[in-house]
Amino acid sequence: MQRTLRFGLAALVLALFFGLAIAMLFVFWQLLSSVTDEQADSRQATATAVPPAYVWDSGGYLSAVFVPDGRLAVASSYQTTILSFPDNQPLTFFPTGGYLAVSPDSSRLAVGQRGAVRIYDLASGKVRAYLVCWLPPEEWTEMWLAFSPDGRSLAVTEANPAHGPEVQLWDAVHQGQLWSVRIDDPAITVARQLAFSPDGRYIVVTTLPEGVWLIDVAQAAVVRKIQPEPAGSIAFSPDGSRLSVGGYAIRTYDTATWKLVHEQTFPVSDAQTVTEPSPSPNPFLLDSMLVAISPDGQWLAAPAAYPESGSDFFVGRNPPRQPIALRRLADGEQVYRLSGSQNRVRRLMFSPDGQWLVDVGHNEVQVWPVGE
């Protein structure tokens, strides 16, 4: 009896051992198949992505903006350079770096740095105005600038919690402040990205930790909260009928009704739910989800995926790329997939003639011909 029992126990242990071994082999095979499939999908996505026509070393640009006459202005922390485009030849240097805006008539360049804005005459290089918007912060903080469509005024924000969610409007000719508007919400800490509507009646501004707001310029007042979710980028269509917002989702609104026209969401591996407002938004992710609308109003350019976690600090020969999608503005349908920035997108814009799309990434600038 005891012998039979020992034999039975030995058989049971042996069966459990072989069962466990088979299960482990099955799991290993599944993992191997998954990796192989992901590699194949990655190779296929890379193979079908449209490569850029030009690639430049960015040199760590903080800001970049097109001059309406077709030149490109790029700024580091200490200098601004005007380049010919698309051949990337330096034309003019300005001794101030920071965050840029160019007047619609191509005559003036505004450079924001440490709470102040210098407005240069692009032809002579002389400073035409010096606007002290805030006292210099202890640390370097981002600024956002936007000329009004008529070029007479300049809207300014700075992501400095010390002065809160404030939008200032300045007379860009006579240097006087026209008004200051604060977002009246105790949860909001800073105002960030901003843009004028093409008719000059409104300013749209994004805030953290949440919110996209509509300011009436004549009333100097907030008149609408467009969405509660945070955003890192905004763009009006040339006729003003559409507003696209880049954030955890890419959304486009009808500005007549402020109803959602279309939306693109993306799968994420993080546990955070990114389609809902968050008390701790991820600025790294938000600032990578940029939107740009072509001058003819046909195309919406935006990232096709979130940047890979930690990719901003990637060191190596082949850093991950954040792909860019070229979509129809009318319905959001993706038509082209571009190879995208190394690490993450930092600036995304169309050339004034609509023939080129420019992606300023972490360490390189890529240029695609859109006209073709």
Domain parsing of the chain, residue ranges? 57-228, 231-372
- Cα distances from 210 to residues 66, 192, 278, 365, in angstroms, run 29, 11, 7, 30
Q: Under CATH, which number does the domain 57-228 receive?
A: 2.130.10.10
pLDDT in tens, 269-321: 543 445 444 556 777 788 889 999 999 999 999 999 887 765 554 445 555 67
With pLDDT > 90 as the criterion, what percentage of the chain qualifies?
A: 63
Question: What is the spatial distance between Cα 207 and Cα 249, in angstroms, rounded to a whole number?
Answer: 16
pLDDT in tens, 17-60: 445 455 444 434 443 343 333 333 333 333 367 888 999 887 77
Average pLDDT value for residue range 96-106:
96
Q: Supply 302's token pair.
A: 């935006």
Closest Cα to residue 169, out of 208, 200, 138? 200
Structural class in CATH, domain 231-372: mainly beta
Q: Supply 157's token pair.
A: 């924000």
Report the side by side order of strands in the sheet with 212-216. Answer: 190-196, 202-208, 212-216, 221-227
Angle among Cα 335, 338, 341 to the nearest 5 degrees reads: 145
- Cα distances from 265 to residues 45, 188, 275, 306, in angstroms, run 18, 24, 8, 10
Closest Cα to residue 192, out of 252, 142, 153? 142
Q: Are 149 and 200 in contact (CB under 8 A)?
A: yes
Preceding amide of 165 cis, omega within 30:
no
User: How high is the pLDDT of residue 223?
Assistant: 97
Question: What is the spatial distance between Cα 246 and Cα 54, in angstroms, rounded to a whole number?
Answer: 25
Question: What is the spatial distance between Cα 108 and Cα 123, in angstroms, rounded to a whole number?
Answer: 8
Closest Cα to residue 224, out of 238, 245, 203, 248? 203
Preceding amide of 86 cis, omega within 30:
yes
Q: Which residues pair with 121 in a beta bridge?
A: 108
Q: Which residues pair with 227 in a beta bridge?
A: 212
User: How high is the pLDDT of residue 19?
Assistant: 52
User: How high is the pLDDT of residue 60?
Assistant: 77
User: How high is the pLDDT of residue 46?
Assistant: 39
Question: What is the spatial distance between Cα 343 and Cα 150, in angstroms, rounded to a whole number?
Answer: 37
Closest Cα to residue 142, out of 79, 215, 195, 77? 77
User: How high is the pLDDT of residue 315?
Assistant: 47
- Average pLDDT over the chain, rounded to an integer: 83
User: How high is the pLDDT of residue 305?
Assistant: 87
User: How high is the pLDDT of residue 363?
Assistant: 74
User: How high is the pLDDT of residue 103?
Assistant: 98
